[in-house]
Amino acid sequence: MTRPNVMIVVAALLLAPSLTRAQSAMPDGIRMIENGKEVRSGPGQPNRADLYTFVTLPGDQQRVLLRSSSERAFELQILDPGGNVVAQSWGKGEVEIETIPAWGDIYTIAVLRAEPTANYTLSRTATPGSLPQFLLAHMAGYRRLSGLKTTRCWSNPGRTIKIDFGDYVLERSVNGEQIRNRRIRSGQPTVFWTQTVQIVGDQIEVVDLEDGDAHKTTLSLDPGRLRYSSDYEPVGATC
């Protein structure tokens, strides 16, 4: 299966339910901004943000660009499904945000104007992540509460995730179409190994190549696997 087809399979499994939910539950005054499209602002209100929603997959790089001829400042924010600000930027003329959300779901863009009558255009471009980026983004931003307790967050968003096991740290980085792992434990040599990733049916298959042995595991593609599990709680996506 080629890489574009892999991501089409992932999109079919994950995107449709969120898209339907976004369209059917859109509050008044909130607009949906599609990938590759541009929207123009309407009249603003003092001390009130303009809100736009979009649906993303784990690992997708989101670029949001605001353009205005106004001399007054604008602020852009991206909020996660819980209303937490995950990225922000401000300025005049052009204001831009590039970010990789921690998980796939419905996100919100908030535009704040220093002058309510200042008009602008807003565009959004999503670049699909690779399968390794998808896998790492699928895991970022959680603390495991039972069993082997761990905390997982982006140390380099879209590239490297850090998993803190308490007595050692595991760094997992995107390396082309593979994942490069680095295990760091105080007083011991750093250990490196590689993982291969592929779609098998409705799951992701991960093969570890460590010490000459292959260890195979499978993970669900369900984006709610961690988010709605009582064994995990959300934490900051970056660290």
What pLDDT, in 10s, does the model give residues 98-137? 887 766 778 999 999 999 889 999 999 998 878 888 788 7
22 pLDDT tier (thresholds 50, 70, 90)? very low
Distance CA 90, CA 78 (A): 12
47: exposed, middle or buried (Cβ count in 10 Å: 0-12, 13-18, 19+): exposed
End-to-end CA distance of the chain: 34
What per-residue confidence (pLDDT) applies to 6?
43
Whether residue 223 contacts residue 104, with contact meaning beta carbons closer than 8 Å, is answered with yes
pTM (2 d.p.): 0.61
Q: pLDDT by residue (tens digit) across 57-76?
A: 777 889 999 999 999 999 99
Tokens of 56: 């993303």
211 pLDDT tier (thresholds 50, 70, 90)? low
Partner residues linked to 172 by β-bridges? 161, 181
Could you give the domains of the chain? 3-19+29-127 (2.60.120.380), 131-234 (no CATH)
Q: pLDDT by residue (tens digit) across 142-186?
A: 888 887 888 888 888 778 999 999 899 999 998 888 999 999 999
Tokens of 42: 């309407």
